[in-house]
Amino acid sequence: MQVFNTLTKRKEEFIPLNPPIVTMYMCGPTVYDYFHIGNARSFIMSDVIRRYLEYKNFNVKFVMNLTDVEDKIIKKANEQNTSAQSVSEFYANAFFEDINKLRIKKANEYPKATAHIEDMIELIKELEQKGIAYNIDGDVYYDITKFNEYGKLSGKKIDELEAGSRVEISELKRNPLDFALWKKAKEGEPSWDSPWGKGRPGWHIECSAMSTKHLGDTIDIHAGGNDLIFPHHENEIAQSEGAKGKQFVRYWIHFGFLNIQNEKMSKSLGNFFNARDILKLYSVDAIRFFFCQTHYRGPLNFSEELLEASEKGVEKIKNFLLRINEEIDNVNSNETVNPFDINKYVIEFENSMDDDFNTPKALAVIFELIKDANKLLDNNHLNKQSILEIKEFLKKSLDDVFGIISFDEMKANVKSIEDDLIKLILDLRDELKKEKNYNLADKIRNSLNDLGIIVQDSKTGTTYKKKF
């Protein structure tokens, strides 16, 4: 398996530190608002990567943090005249609701920043003891000149960054690029006791402390959006490696930007969509299909036309699944009739996914299978064993790995439609009985009985049960 590592800027063979265990950390949301579809892409594609690693029999320990203390949360709380805790709890609950709707598997842990303040303080103390962090009147900063490899993830050079620095400049800092590890308490803001006085942690130290706490000093995979490479992930490396003196992350995985109608997604342009709003317009099947159609590292254009095309792609898959379910008992029972080589598609699927999780190529393999199998079905050249093998592969690929089709939900929907149809037929039968057309009413009852649906008439009405 080859994985593109942002740190080395090339594909590398994936070799976990302690196989079959894979430790994976994903930067989660800052819970001050509903997450947008750009975030949804990162969450879904990290979910697909995790699912595929599990498909390959790795034991993935997956951690996604929740940032529940941060400037944006405090600002929202002030706007709503409420507490930062109320804001973060409301949007944390909304986050869990939405990822559940998006079929994103639960993480092993969802650490919250506010529950790990002591861990952050201990990490800052380690940096201070090593002379990497410095305290100025209750504000603690990281001295980037003390970490020789600063910029190795983003490829940015310190002298160039200093010349055109976009970070907040403070006269207190030794260097304009030094970043806050601990912020001195301000009136009206949440704060905690620390060796440097009351205050709260900087954003970057949160992920370093939480990943170390739950996954260890060195982790296999750290994932997040491209916008987090600098400064967030760059600073995480500086903090963790500066404190622990060992490699922080073996493989850095980053997800490409999302554009809206060929323009960069932006609140100022009014083309900003929350994931829960999109879920009201399109199925989760189509949303996951849409994201899987483009390689996770590449940019992706989000548009109504592409979502509608994704709905049609999902419909084609579902139609095929319904067809093989209907025809499985009617196909040629001769096992020698055109045996379907399922291994060919399994190998192509795995080769695609092993090549840096190439989901569009893997999806193409599935559509090739559907096309080939449909041709054989048209000519009654697909036997029962082949159909069972096809169903098993599609369950593993489309459901277990991609999460595009939920076989359980499809089964439940078919059952619901079946029950609705039976009720409709029985209602029509009642009308026939009222019209005293007993011959046709009896014919319906007997035909249903032949199908394994036992109709029972009584003084209170008509009921039915199914024979199994």
**Whether 219 contacts 16, CB under 8 Å:** no
Binding-site residues for ATP, in ranges, read 267
Residue 283 in any domain: the answer is: no
Copy the structure tokens of residue 146.
């003390």
Alpha-carbon gap, residue 220 to 240, rounded angstroms: 14
* Pairwise pLDDT comparison (142 vs 378), residue with the higher score: 142
> Per residue in 145-184, is it b (16+ CB within 10 Å) or e — as a string?
ebbeebbebbebeeeebeeeeeeeeeeebebbbbbbbbbb
Same domain, 43 and 138: yes
Mean pLDDT (whole number) for 397-411: 91
Report the predicted TM-score, pTM, of the whole model to 2 decimal places. Answer: 0.88
Helices and strands: H and E segment counts in the chain: 15, 15
Write out the residue range of the structural domain in which residue 426 sits.
Answer: 412-466
Collapsing DSSP to helix, strand or coil, 327 comes out as helix
The pLDDT value given to residue 419: 64
Q: Is the pLDDT of residue 272 over 90?
A: no
The pLDDT value given to residue 82: 95
CB atoms < 10 A from the CB of 190, how many? 19
Residue 36 in any domain: the answer is: yes
Residue 370's CATH number:
1.20.120.640
Same domain, 237 and 318: no
Indicate the helix (H) or strand (E) that contains 344: helix 342-354
Q: Is the pLDDT of residue 241 over 80?
A: yes
Indicate the helix (H) or strand (E) that contains 43: helix 37-55
Residue 428 in any domain: the answer is: yes
Copy the structure tokens of residue 153.
């993830």
Residue 144's CATH number:
3.40.50.620
Q: Are strands 139-142 and 453-458 parallel, antiparallel or unpaired?
A: unpaired
Same domain, 441 and 400: no
The pLDDT value given to residue 253: 98
Least confident range from 23-37, 279-293, 387-401, 444-458: namely: 444-458
Copy the structure tokens of residue 271.
């083309």
**Whether 120 contacts 174, CB under 8 Å:** no
Residue 306 in any domain: the answer is: no
Q: What is the pLDDT of residues 141-185, one digit of tens each?
A: 999 999 999 999 999 988 777 655 544 555 678 888 999 999 999
Residue 434 in any domain: the answer is: yes
The pLDDT value given to residue 415: 54
Alpha-carbon gap, residue 218 to 210, rounded angstroms: 12
The pLDDT value given to residue 423: 78
Least confident range from 162-171, 322-331, 358-367, 371-380: namely: 162-171
Nearest by Cα to 282 from 259, 305, 255, 258: 305
The residue assigned the tokens 């079905």 is 377
The pLDDT value given to residue 442: 83
Q: How many CA atoms lie within 13 A of 452 on its CB side?
A: 4
| Displacement of CA 449 from its chain's centroid (Å) | 46
Alpha-carbon gap, residue 244 to 241, rounded angstroms: 5
The residues with which 199 forms a beta bridge, in sequence order, are 184, 192
**Whether 404 contacts 397, CB under 8 Å:** no
Q: What is the pLDDT of residues 280-336, one digit of tens each?
A: 999 999 999 999 999 999 999 998 899 999 999 999 999 999 999 888 767 666 665
Amino acid making up residue 454: I
Binding-site residues, in ranges, read 27, 207, 232, 236, 267
Indicate the number of domains in the chain.
3
Nearest by Cα to 402 from 186, 169, 102, 145: 102
Mean pLDDT (whole number) for 231-242: 98
Same domain, 340 and 259: no
Alpha-carbon gap, residue 190 to 429, rounded angstroms: 68
Burial class (CB in 10 A: 0-12, 13-18, 19+), 10: exposed
Same domain, 445 and 339: no
Alpha-carbon gap, residue 366 to 345, rounded angstroms: 7
* Alpha-carbon dihedral 9, 29, 206, 110, rounded to 10 degrees: -100
Alpha-carbon gap, residue 27 to 306, rounded angstroms: 27
Residue 290 in any domain: the answer is: no
Binding-site residues for Zn(2+), in ranges, read 27, 207, 232, 236
Domain boundary among 250, 276, 302: 276
What values do phi and psi take at 464, rounded to 5?
A: -145, 160
Amino acid making up residue 160: E
Same domain, 186 and 329: no
* Pairwise pLDDT comparison (366 vs 337), residue with the higher score: 366
Rounded mean pLDDT of the chain?
91
Copy the structure tokens of residue 131.
């002379």
Alpha-carbon gap, residue 207 to 111, rounded angstroms: 10
Mean pLDDT (whole number) for 352-364: 98
Q: Is the pLDDT of residue 414 over 60?
A: no
Mean pLDDT (whole number) for 259-265: 75
Percent of the chain with pLDDT over 90: 72
The residue assigned the tokens 């320990």 is 61
Alpha-carbon gap, residue 383 to 237, rounded angstroms: 55
| Displacement of CA 250 from its chain's centroid (Å) | 21
Domain boundary among 405, 437, 453: 405
Alpha-carbon gap, residue 108 to 110, rounded angstroms: 7
Residue 419 in any domain: the answer is: yes
The pLDDT value given to residue 422: 72
**Whether 167 contacts 147, CB under 8 Å:** no
What values do phi and psi take at 18, rounded to 5?
A: -135, 70
